[in-house]
Amino acid sequence: MNEDIDKIIRFWFGSEKIDVIETRDDFWFGTDHGVDQEIKRQFSALVTSAYQQDLANWAETAKGSLALLVLLDQFTRNIYRGTDRAYAYDEKAKAICLQGIDRGFDLQLTSSERVFYYLPLEHSELMSDQKQCVQLFERLAHNVDKKHEGKYQQRFNAYVEYAVLHYKIIDDFGRFPHRNDLLGRESTPAELKYLIEGGATFGQVINK
């Protein structure tokens, strides 16, 4: 495996064992400034290279495409948290995700790795992507339940619920309201009400 691909996957997942799913939620989905800065220090140059297509050959393998998705869909949200650039790489990530799914790359990965293979669809503001995302997470949760006799079912059911939450937001508003200020979009009265009442921001608060 390419040294940089291996470095990205080892940093993000720590282990290929499924029980990593029980210990890394805060690391993956929290808002730890120290984690953000460490990702910026170690991987910002690779994020830029991925965006500029310098790593396009990585998309030809399951692990390589996973590493690209971590760079473009996850590390960007750490490095550029609270800015419009957190979303600037999403379309590239989604294209890699869909291409990989078409080629069956997701099915070659561990269950925890597949979670992050599908997140570019969860981050999309297209309803068709949201529908596919929910279906993929439901299938993943079913497979995990069958393989591990329910041991990790609660965790993977939570990923399904999170996908459904994203789906419902797009169904209600056609976009993610918390992105509006960052992207220079005017919020509707319904969106403002949603945000004022504590609507989800998914860790992307505005830095002012």
Indicate the CATH number for domain 3-196: 1.25.40.10
| 49 CB-near residues (< 8 Å, 6+ apart) | 55
Domain limits, the chain:
3-196
What is the rounded end-to-end Cα distance, in angstroms, of the chain? 41
Average of per-residue pLDDT values in the chain: 93
- pLDDT tens digit string along 78-98? 999 999 999 999 999 999 999
- Evaluate if residue 206 carries a pLDDT over 80: no
Task: Inform me whether the pLDDT recorded for 208 exceeds 80.
Answer: no
What is the average per-residue pLDDT within 40-66? 97
For the segment 112-133, what is each residue's pLDDT rounded down to a tens digit? 999 999 999 999 999 999 999 9
Q: Is the pLDDT of residue 17 over 80?
A: no
Q: Over the stretch 148-197, which tens digit does the pLDDT of each residue have?
A: 666 788 899 999 999 999 999 999 999 999 999 999 999 999 999 999 99
CA dist 58 → 28, 96, 108 (Å)? 22, 10, 15
| Amino acid making up residue 108 | Q
Q: In the chain, what's the furthest Cα-to-Cα distance? A: 51
